[in-house]
């Protein structure tokens, strides 16, 4: 039996916000383990805490309680200064709302994370990715000149430029029509298989969830059942 090592572990993760005298509990004692190379979908209704969970797992935000380990390293308490380079090297993130930098061209947006690492190949890697997703002719365009589908393909390139071990995607097809959504998903899965990367994707789109290795269902901040599709 081939045993995958675990790339990501979350134990007892809770997240709450204090608003005046009210405590809003978004996540309640969530535990999960993600195997290296796995395509995991976290599914749930709007407001179930999916996006919050993803931002905690990826180190973009800190849990109120619990521990998170990325590639065996506990990232729960390390400072933002120490965490940023780890996150930039090991993870990529694709958001529903793209989050491209408006003042940078498509190509510059893709290069940005690689330049932060001082990668001399940043431009070459970015150009290859942009060409790969069919947008070489849009490389010098600014985000406001791109369609939604083009923006999401550029943001996928940006997430992949540092060859991350783990790719996080938050409703990556949420703002796209079904044709563009499928194209973006196909690209993600292609890259994931090629690079043997791990993909953790949040969605409420059942047809995306059906392609995953494993589906975790989040309900009101708690992980409920697990769907594993038989091969």
DSSP-assigned states of every residue in 94-127? E-TT----TTS-HHHHHHHHHHHTT-TTHHHHHH
Sign of the CA dihedral 92, 34, 47, 79? negative
Q: Does pLDDT of 3 surpass 80? A: no
Over the stretch 171-220, which tens digit does the pLDDT of each residue have? 888 887 888 888 888 888 988 898 889 999 998 888 888 889 999 999 88
pLDDT band per the 50, 70, 90 thresholds, residue 96: confident
| pLDDT at residue 2, as a whole number | 43
Q: Does pLDDT of 229 surpass 80? A: no
Q: Does pLDDT of 156 surpass 50? A: yes
pLDDT band per the 50, 70, 90 thresholds, residue 1: very low
Cα–Cα distance, 74 to 76 (Å, whole number): 6
DSSP-derived 3-state class of residue 4 = coil
Domains of the chain, each with CATH number or no CATH: 36-61+78-227 (3.40.50.300)
Q: Give mean pLDDT, residues 94-118.
A: 89
Q: In the chain, what percentage of residues exceed pLDDT 90? A: 49
pLDDT band per the 50, 70, 90 thresholds, residue 48: confident
Backbone angles phi, psi at 29, to 5 degrees: 55, 55
| pLDDT at residue 158, as a whole number | 93
| pLDDT at residue 117, as a whole number | 85
Q: Give mean pLDDT, residues 60-71.
A: 92
| pLDDT at residue 175, as a whole number | 81
Cα–Cα distance list, 196 to 147, 157, 188 (Å): 29, 16, 12
- Name the residue with higher pLDDT: 136 or 225: 136
pLDDT band per the 50, 70, 90 thresholds, residue 227: low
Give the chain's mean pLDDT. Answer: 88
Closest to 14 in 3D by CA, of 1, 26, 2:
26
| pLDDT at residue 98, as a whole number | 74
pLDDT band per the 50, 70, 90 thresholds, residue 32: very high
């Amino acid at each position: 039996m081939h045993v995958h090592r675990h790339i990501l572990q979350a134990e007892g993760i809770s997240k709450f916000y204090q608003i005046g005298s009210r405590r809003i509990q978004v996540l309640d004692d969530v535990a999960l383990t993600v195997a290296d190379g796995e395509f995991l979908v976290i599914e749930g209704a709007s407001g179930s805490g999916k996006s919050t969970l993803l931002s905690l797992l990826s180190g973009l935000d800190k849990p109120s309680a619990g521990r998170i380990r990325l590639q065996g390293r506990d990232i729960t308490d390390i400072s933002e200064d120490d965490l940023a380079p780890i996150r930039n090297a090991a993870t990529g993130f694709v958001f529903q709302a793209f989050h491209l930098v408006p003042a940078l061209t498509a190509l510059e947006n893709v290069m940005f994370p690689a330049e932060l690492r001082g990668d001399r190949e940043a431009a070459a890697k970015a150009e290859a990715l942009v060409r790969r997703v069919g947008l070489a002719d849009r490389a010098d365009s600014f985000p406001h000149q791109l369609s939604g589908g083009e923006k999401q393909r550029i943001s996928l390139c940006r997430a992949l430029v540092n060859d991350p071990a783990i790719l996080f995607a938050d409703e990556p097809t949420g703002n796209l029509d079904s044709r563009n959504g499928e194209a973006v998903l196909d690209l993600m899965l292609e890259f994931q298989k090629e690079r043997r990367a791990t993909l953790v994707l949040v969605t409420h789109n059942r047809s995306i969830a059906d392609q995953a290795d494993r589906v975790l269902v989040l309900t009101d901040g708690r992980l409920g059942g697990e769907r594993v599709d038989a091969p």
